[in-house]
Amino acid sequence: MRALFFGPPGSGKGTQAARLSARRTLPHVSSGDLLRAAARSGSAIGLRAKGFMDRGELVPDALVLELLFDRLAAADCGAGFLLDGFPRTEAQAGALEGRLGRGERAALDRALRFLLADEAVLERMSGRRSCKGCGTPFHVSFRPPKVEGRCDRCGGELLRRPDDAPEVVRERLAVHRRDEAGLVEFYRRRSVLREVEASGSVEEVAGRVELLLEGA
């Protein structure tokens, strides 16, 4: 199975991709993880990516695609893979199709779109906190600490990442909604688009995902 999970930030697509990867023994290929690993590696391509990331800029499509294609060429991706976070636009999807297309068949068996209202995204992301000391994650609504602002594990200070601030989340959502429209139509034309309601528990969403991927 070759599948893409896409949707707004905070919709749980990465969590679901990781769960499905473990269940089906398929590589979970996250563009974010690829970029961070490349930046840590010190390789020529990694240093190029790190330069953009350090400046807070988007890494150019050509660079991300180069990393992605290298990863998908690995032996463990031969039987399939789960893409998470890329492609994000119709142009990126077209580049992926050009490299991975299989004649009359689409490059992917499923493109699973996670649906979550903007206000729900805002609540999920703006409420996230992590411990400055040990990195343990919390959420002010869904996983609150026993003592406000302090880690249950080590007592460290809980911080919110700058990109989880409400104004930043709204900006990221606006960009996502703009770019997503073309991606949706791209995969709808190829008859591989499926949509999953991303509200509810992790287990509830996982059940919906499994149903939509049957036969892929």
Write out the catalytic residue numbers: 13, 88, 128, 161, 172
Q: What is the DSSP letter of 11?
A: S
Amino acid of residue 169: V
Decide: 6 and 89 in contact? Cβ < 8 Å.
no
From the list 153, 130, 128, 155, the residue with the least C-alpha distance to 140 is 128
Beta bridge partners of 138: 129
Q: What is the DSSP letter of 77?
A: G
* Tokens coding 154: 């080590």
45: left (phi over 0), alpha (psi -120 to 50) or beta: alpha
H helices of the chain, in order, are 13-24, 31-41, 44-54, 61-72, 90-100, 118-126, 166-189, 202-213
